[in-house]
Amino acid sequence: MLESGQTQEQIDAAIAAGKKPPGQLRVIKDLTDIELPSNAKLIQPDPANFMLYHVDVDLSKEDCYWRGGKYRFTITIPHSYPHEAPKCHCDTQIYHPNIDMQGNVCQHVAVQGQGAEDAQRGLA
């Protein structure tokens, strides 16, 4: 069961009928509220897929340990969002205490609360 007691088949039928599932509507709302820093860009690789995003972070002008680096993160949002947290993966190899060697971002860093602002803090 997903989103408000709906089955995957019901969600697929709603999408086929042109209706957006509740999780997708919540993603759209949350993304309108997010304010990324000037060194980060949110990219939607497939305009038809509201559940997959890239975040490109350019630290070339930042005064930090990772100065000069450019990093890409992939954010995968489950259909049961916001009841299930998005997954965050660092596609660029980096040594960071909250990113494992396979690029998985520590979940408590990526999602500390309920909305996009908390996920944004996790990327900073």
How far is 3 from 11, CA to CA, in rounded Å?
A: 8
Q: Where are the domains of the chain?
A: 8-123
pLDDT digits (tens, 9 = 90+) for 58-98: 988 887 777 788 999 999 998 888 888 899 999 999 888 89
What b/e readout covers 78-95, taking b as 16+ CB neighbours within 10 angstroms? ebbbbeebbebebeeeee
pLDDT digits (tens, 9 = 90+) for 5-62: 556 576 566 556 666 777 778 888 888 888 889 999 999 998 888 889 999 999 888 8
What pLDDT score was predicted for residue 2? 39
8-123: CATH topology is Ubiquitin Conjugating Enzyme (3.10.110)
Count of C-beta atoms within a 10 Å radius of residue 105: 22
Q: Which residues are catalytic?
A: 106
